[in-house]
Amino acid sequence: MKNTNSISKILPVLFGFFIMGFCDVVGITSSHVKADFGLSDTMSNMIPVALFSMFLFFSVPTGMLMNKIGRKNTVLLSNIITIVAMLIPLVAYTFSMTLIAFALLGIANTILQVSINPLLTNVVHGDKLASSLTAGQFVKAISSFAGPFIAAFAASTLGNWQYMFPIYALITVISTVWLMLTPIEENQPKSDVSSFVSVFAILKDKTILLLFLGIVFVVGVDVGVNTAAPKLLMERCGLSMLDAGYGTSMYFAFRTAGAFLGAILLSKISSIKFFKTTIFIALAAIMALLFVQNQYLLFAIFAIVGISIANVFSIIFAMAIQLRPDKVNEISGLMVTAIFGGAIIPFVMGVSSDAIGSQVGSVLVILVCALYLVFCAFSIKTTEK
């Protein structure tokens, strides 16, 4: 009975990770918005900028808020904001309102990412925590993978791709009600809340700075491929908007597979060796994106990048925490803040592609991000062998 009760508390929390994956719909959305309003790459890429820039401003304040209202209430707050964000494009579909919707989604996703992992520790304990966190990331990956399919279903069956937004709102309502009806005890003592100054002061440590920028650039690669994949397929292969969206799904499908493969291999191989090997594979694949024109080869490259980049974020995150175990809370907040790389990189990609006149500009920016990650992998000093 105790185990059943525990599972009944774990499942609604894990389902929250599905809501976390909604942020990855920026790729297919930016492609549709670009076509709907006749925008340049620079302007259409303002959608991921609007979303991911929120991580810069709301990560640390969320930690402060969580100490006041509790972890569960913080997750519920993020869900409410998500519901509002997903209804905005349905009420008023303009470019400016879409930007507002994704800025709100960015705020909600920031709040969720900061609060849901701590909430999971209230329902999972001991050696089961790591596997539960992995399960949460898998649920998030499933959400990311499903995005283009939900958009395609909305367009083909419901008549308009924008109907994906109320579908997401309904899913979020289900998650909210489920979590509200689940009693969860939060008996952890409240800790001192860090300020912006104290958190960012940690960047004086050169290794922490190296890893912080690693998060910036790995998120840049992730969001960059997510955003560029449909545009590359349309530009080079003449695919329709809906068919090109499956390039993003290919990337997320193999990123999901890569996460599980990494969980197995990292128990036998040191994380730094794994990091070096996989980032070289990702670099080679991204370099190939500069030249490949064939549709099927492009899909294969997206798969290779997805499976090779899948574990880089978690490896860097873990290295940062292990480096300063006395500053776990501060470093966790700092690394979540670094997700704002998902705002900077797409913007630079848009400017670059508009300047060159093709998606080669976007790929060059992603390539620079991958080159930094190679530099990061070989610059980190670790005791691992």
pLDDT of residue 185: 78
**Which pLDDT score is estimated for 183?**
84
210: pLDDT strictly greater than 70: yes
Q: Is residue 306 over pLDDT 70? A: yes
> What does the mean pLDDT of the chain come to?
84
Distances in Å between the Cα of 197 and the Cα atoms of 11, 203, 214 are 37, 10, 21
Phi, psi of 29, deg, nearest 5: -65, -45
Q: What is the mean pLDDT of residues 225-251?
A: 87
- Percentage of the chain beyond pLDDT 70 is 91
pLDDT at 347 over 80: yes
pLDDT category of residue 336 using cuts at 50, 70 and 90: confident
For 96-129, write each residue's pLDDT tens digit: 999 999 999 999 999 998 888 778 777 776 555 5
- Closest among 253, 252, 235 to 244, alpha carbons compared: 235
pTM score of the predicted model: 0.77
Give alpha helix (H) positions in the chain.
2-20, 26-37, 41-44, 46-52, 54-69, 71-91, 95-120, 128-156, 164-180, 196-200, 206-237, 241-265, 271-288, 295-309, 312-323, 328-337, 341-356, 360-379
Domains present along the chain, CATH in parentheses: 7-183+193-379 (1.20.1250.20)
Tell me the CA distances in angstroms from 62 to 21, 80, 115, 158, 188, one per residue in order: 19, 15, 8, 37, 17
Whole-Å CA distances, 75 to 47, 104, 141, 228, 367: 23, 15, 19, 31, 35
Q: Decide which of 162 and 264 is more confident.
A: 162
Question: Between the CA of residue 272 and those of 182, 305, 323, what are the distances in Å?
Answer: 40, 18, 14
User: Is there a contact between 50 and 102 (Cβ–Cβ < 8 Å)?
Assistant: yes
| Distance of alpha carbon 380 from alpha carbon 296, whole angstroms | 36
Residue 359 has pLDDT above 80, yes or no: yes
pLDDT value, residue 307: 93
Residue linked to tokens 């070289």:
280
pLDDT in the model for residue 16 = 92
Q: What is the pLDDT of residue 31?
A: 80
pLDDT for position 4? 44
Question: What is the per-residue pLDDT for 186?
Answer: 73
Share of the chain above pLDDT 90, in %: 34
Contact 164, 31 (CB under 8 A): no
pLDDT confidence of residue 79: 96
> Which residues have a Cβ under 8 Å from the Cβ of 378 and sit 6 or more positions away?
276
Is pLDDT above 60 for 130? Answer: no
Q: So what's the pLDDT on residue 384?
A: 53
* DSSP class per residue in 333-368: HHHHHGGGHHHHHHHHHHHHHHHHTSTHHHHHHHHH
- Over residues 68-82, the pLDDT tens digits come to 788 899 999 999 999
The pLDDT score that the predictor gives to residue 189 is 47
Band the pLDDT of 339: cuts 50, 70, 90.
confident
- 80: which residues sit within 8 A by CB, 6+ positions away? 176
Paired tokens of 74:
């913080």
DSSP 239: -
Q: Do 342 and 222 form a contact (C-beta atoms < 8 A)?
A: yes
Highest mean pLDDT among 62-66, 85-89, 195-199: 85-89
- Is-contact 51 345, C-beta < 8 A? no
